[in-house]
Amino acid sequence: MPRPFSVALPPWLTHALRAQRGPVPWNAVLRGALAAGPLLLAAVLAGRESVGVMAALGAMLAGINDRPGSRRTAVHRIGVPGLAGAAGLVVGTYAGEGLGAVPLTLILTALGLLAGAVSAVGPVSSGAGTQLLVAAAIGAGMPLPEPGWQRALFFLAGGAWLIALRLALPTPGALAHDFRFDGERVAVADVYDAIAELLAAAGGEQAGARRAALTAALDHAQDALAGPRLRRYASSSAERRLRAQYAAALPLAEAATALAWAGDALPARTAEGPRRLAVAVRTGEPCGPLPAPARSVPGLRALDDALLHAAETFDRGGKQTGGKQTGGKNPGSRRIDGEKTHSGAALHSNAGTNPLDRGARQTAHKGMRLRPLRAKALLRTVTGQGGREYGFRVALCYGASAAVAQALHHVHWYWLPATAVFLVKPDLGPLVSRVLNRAAGTVLGALVFAGFAAVLPRPEGLVALVAISGALIPVATRHFAAQTAVVTVLVLALVMVGGEPEASWSRIGETLLACAIVLIVGHLPAPGQRGGNVRARLDAATDAAHAYLTHVLSGADDRAARWALRREAYRKLAEARAAIDRAAAELPTLARHTEGTDEVAATLERLVDTTTACAVHLDDTGRLTPRHTERLATLLDELVEQRERAGLADPPADLLSA
């Protein structure tokens, strides 16, 4: 039979069509409906429409950053960009009132350089940079009667209102427990589910993908539990329990990674224990007896020990034993129906003294990371090759857009630089994908708004449209075009409520012009080497892998430090992978600058997996097998060759001699 006809789409086009999947976040939808719309309604009823517009803008931008996770993480993720946006409003308002077109453009360009460089630090910094620039453009160009400090105050009030909703409204179904920690509870349970999936996939083709999913789950749980707090240590029994349960998952994840590295399929029974632990985290009920794996190889023995430790941790509810035996009379492990299981009803007499238990206690008590991010490390990231390239592109696009917009003397000139900000940010996706989605989303949103504006009563119909758009933002964030369409409708409604004329068609023109500017600037030659963000991420991942391998081969018995180094290595690898995937989906003229970096990342992943297998084997026997040493040597040789082909600097010399 003839083979069906198929067309292979280029990466830059397939990325533009790709959308995230998952259940509808109904709690976020409710918060979106209660955020911008009610604030605008209160201002309209009070006769202060311009105040409502500014507060609704703050709530809208906060809603874009309202992602799944813990409440403390949400405060950081929403609050920091909100503060940056308020600062941008102040600078933009006073600069727009007191400066001419040329000085104003220079000020905005300098802001673009700063915000772009800072955006290289991470997602929260990128959100802060985005809001800083968007708010600066709005402050400089939007005609509102309030002075700059009042605009910033009401903008902050909009973001603070959404944060208050995030803290106060419980997640549906979470009232059975302490709903303050429902995000942390879900994140920790997802870790145990990911461990079970990796064990089930061991020896199969999906093992690599499952290991990557485990890394993502651990990153999410780590961020959820390590969010900003007033106290350094956990202040409630619920939080202490969750931190202990997360710490108990780390040796399980380590053993599961080592078993997946070995490449042998495992009995279905092996994954049952982590699944029961996931259910126990979600429900708060005892985990019950856990099926114990056969202790036939080092990886299975490590998994068996980790399961017993997890059973004990869940039984004592996160309380630390200090090395004393606690709890009832049943043994810590027993046989039911002829099969060995673990029960957490009693602890070993040496609980708290063995390396595994001691490492878990240190991790749960002192924190999720080995060391916090210091000012020097932040400065290196901002001024490094990734930050410089990031800042240069953002400054050039933002400044050029502001200059062109003011030269056109358009009443809504601030839309052009504000649109360019979203288009030029590489962490939002490849350049062409962003441009296509932004253009399509703006056209769709403007047409939809024009239809509604022709029939809706004013202002009540526009206020309702703002509330509906706010509710749709959490769902629309799954695709950049959908998000753009919803935000376009919301912004156009706010403009009309603020007293300006309907501007759907000018919005389309401004967006298409911004797309053209960003496309041209994004492909211009730049000083230095292109792909700086990818190279910086890969260098950071190499350094983290080096630190992890050195610690393991040193024979140190500090499990907490080892797990922290392992987490950092996998986290840096995930960040590098994400940057490489985005760069690979650019047009060929840009994608060629990062060719070969995906091979370097793959080799680093195998190196970290092998290091984990070595750690588990050293715990069991105290020495490595020829398979481990040969594999390490092969991977280190491959790493040198691949980094050379990709145009990267040589890895640390002591890594090659490890």
Q: What averages of pLDDT result for each successive group of 10 residues across the chain (658 residues)?
A: 57 74 84 92 90 92 86 88 94 89 92 89 88 92 86 94 89 62 88 95 91 93 75 68 92 94 90 92 84 85 91 72 35 41 48 70 67 69 79 89 86 86 78 87 90 87 92 90 91 83 77 88 71 84 93 88 92 91 81 84 94 92 90 91 80 61
Predicted pLDDT of residue 3: 53
Interior CA angle at 255 toward 253 and 261, to 5°?
100
Predicted pLDDT of residue 390: 83
Predicted pLDDT of residue 240: 85
Euclidean distance between CA atoms 327 and 294, whole angstroms: 26
Predicted pLDDT of residue 338: 39
Contact predicate 366/560, CB 8 Å: yes
Residue 264 in 3-state DSSP?
A: coil
Q: What is the pTM of this model?
A: 0.86
The two tokens of residue 495 are 């403009």
In this structure, the number of other CB atoms found within 10 A of the CB of residue 67 comes to 14
Write the burial class of residue 460 (CB in 10 Å: 0-12 exposed, 13-18 middle, 19+ buried).
Answer: exposed
Residue 622 φ/ψ, nearest 5 degrees: 80, 5
Contact predicate 417/402, CB 8 Å: yes
Q: Which residues contact 440 (CB under 8 A, 6 or more apart)?
A: 481, 484
Contact predicate 412/510, CB 8 Å: yes
Predicted pLDDT of residue 42: 93
Predicted pLDDT of residue 342: 57
Predicted pLDDT of residue 584: 82
Predicted pLDDT of residue 101: 87
Predicted pLDDT of residue 330: 34
Residue 280 in 3-state DSSP?
A: helix
Predicted pLDDT of residue 247: 92
The DSSP call for residue 228 is -
Euclidean distance between CA atoms 544 and 549, whole angstroms: 9
Residue 335 φ/ψ, nearest 5 degrees: -115, 135
The two tokens of residue 207 are 């093992």
Predicted pLDDT of residue 654: 61
Contact predicate 556/562, CB 8 Å: yes
Predicted pLDDT of residue 589: 78
What stretch of H or E contains 292? none
Predicted pLDDT of residue 319: 53
